[in-house]
Amino acid sequence: MNRRNFLTFAGSAIALSVIPMNLNAKDYRELKKDIWTAHNMDDATKALYGAKTPIETDKIKISVPKINSSGAAVPVKFETSIDAKTIALFQDANPESAVAVFDVNKYDMKKYEVKIKMEKDGIVMVLVEGTDGKIYMAKAATQVAAGGCEG
């Protein structure tokens, strides 16, 4: 019986090892450096997506607490049902606006939970680049009782 288990396990491992893996990660800090030095969300959006105007939609759900006791770790949850190429997170409370850019495809789960630092009260914005070439947007406001970027 042990030999059968071993052979089943070994056969499965060999079968999985030949499945082609597709890992596509882009380094946006190298590809689009202006995103990470932009001091407001409009400039960061233009640096990432060009002159396209974002369209507000209810297909992006974003959740942040109304009031945070500390800006050191502000929880941000966001998800979308849009068929997307990229999903980007921005905020306007810190000197640089960009937080993260995710490359996605139709098989990826588009539901995220992150914690970000925020120096002061501000707006958190999620942009989704759809496979249709359009940019979709959702925003949420949050207040910070004590800043999180001073150290």
By three-state DSSP, how is residue 140 classified?
strand
Instruction: Give 98-115 pLDDT, tens digit per residue.
Output: 999 998 988 888 899 999
Q: Given a cut of 90, is residue 131 above it in pLDDT?
A: yes
List, for residues 50-83, the tens digit of each pLDDT value: 999 999 999 999 999 999 988 899 999 999 999 9
Residue type at 150? E
Tens digits of residue pLDDT in 12-33: 555 545 444 444 556 666 667 7
Q: Given this model, what pLDDT does residue 106 score?
A: 83
Indicate the residue type of 124. V
CA 59 – CA 136 distance, rounded (Å): 9
The number of CA neighbours under 13 Å toward the Cβ of 106 is: 3
DSSP state of 21: P
* Domains of the chain by start residue, with CATH: 28-144 (2.60.40.2470)
**What is the C-alpha to C-alpha distance for residues 64 and 139, in angstroms, rounded to an integer?**
10
- pTM of the complete model beyond 0.75: yes
